[in-house]
Amino acid sequence: MTKFLIMFCMVIASAMMLISLSSVADETDVAGKPEKVSVEEKEYVPKSEAELKKILTPLQFNVTQKEATERAFQNTYWDNKRKGTYRCIVCDRELFSSDTKYKSGTGWPSFYKPIKKENVGFKSDRYLIYTRTEVHCSRCNAHLGHVFDDGPKPTGKRYCMNSAALKFVESVQSNSSNSAKAKDK
């Protein structure tokens, strides 16, 4: 009987995990339109651990390669309000847009949706006594953060990311509007 209960619990837990992972992102872009296939990204050649240690800061390396977490409210992008794109610090893949960033109050940059669902991957992450869903770059497998089911509409998701795993590229339009504002002052 005990073996049966253990097997039953494992099957239920696996089914629940699959259901939660399948609901992480939908097939539409931010405006609710079907996503368009973009031009191909340049090929990524994986780097060795030694190469990564040369190009990343110790914090970036620990976050992306060792699944560490940076401190809340003491990171680069938690309060960034500029328009642009957040890319993977390791392979430069586009991950999130400032259009989907919102103030979550957690002290980390939070988004309700990735630019493309296929640009991020997911896996279960057991932390203390509960299971979370880890988010990683689908191209280089860099750890980015976690996704939770307490975000805003339209997805209800909170992609809670580590700034150390991201590189922000400000949009040209944002740069020109900031220049115009500076000239007005």
Q: Which residue has the tokens 């990524």?
A: 44
Q: Hey, what are 90's tokens?
A: 């390791």
- 88 catalytic per annotation: no
Contact 114, 25 (CB under 8 A): yes
Contact 113, 100 (CB under 8 A): yes
Catalytic residue, candidates 88, 91, 140, 160: 160
Q: Distances from the Cα of 11 to the Cαs of 2, 6, 17, 22, 178, in angstroms?
A: 14, 9, 10, 17, 54
Q: What is the DSSP letter of 130?
A: E
The rounded distance, in Å, linking the Cα atoms of 87 and 98 is: 11
Would you name the residues annotated as active-site residues? 160
